[in-house]
Amino acid sequence: RVLSLLAIAGISTALAYNTELGRGVWALVYDSRMEVRKIVWPTQEETTQTTIVVFVMVIVMSLLLWAFDALLMMIVRYLTGQGS
């Protein structure tokens, strides 16, 4: 079973490579791999610094939104006469 499956996979790959669409797909895969190799990946230090900045900004924004929500809640309670 395994040998027949491998044979079918090999024949299918060969047929796909010999068609116009198959050659286009292989060219896309090859070009994609070349582009990935050109990427300048961040260092460990840059990644850590960026993560810390994102974490701090999330905390700051959550505190600002909490304060704004509390302020709006106080205004609504004052206008509706609740909480007297």
Q: Taking CA 67 as the corner, what is the angle to CA 62 and CA 71, rounded to the nearest 5 degrees?
A: 145
Q: What's the pLDDT score for residue 84?
A: 58
Return averaged pLDDT per consecutive 10 residues of the chain, 84 residues in all. Answer: 91 83 87 94 96 99 98 94 75
DSSP string, 57-84: HHHHHHHHHHHHHHHHHHHHHHHHTTT-
Assess contact for 48 and 56: CB atoms under 8 A.
no
User: Which two structure tokens, joined as six digits, stand for 52?
Assistant: 């810390």
User: Which two structure tokens, joined as six digits, stand for 68?
Assistant: 């704004």
User: Which two structure tokens, joined as six digits, stand for 47?
Assistant: 């990644």
Q: What's the pLDDT score for residue 25?
A: 84
Q: What's the pLDDT score for residue 52?
A: 99
Q: What's the pLDDT score for residue 4?
A: 92
Angstrom distance (rounded) from CA 23 to CA 29:
10
Q: What's the pLDDT score for residue 5?
A: 93
Q: What's the pLDDT score for residue 60?
A: 99
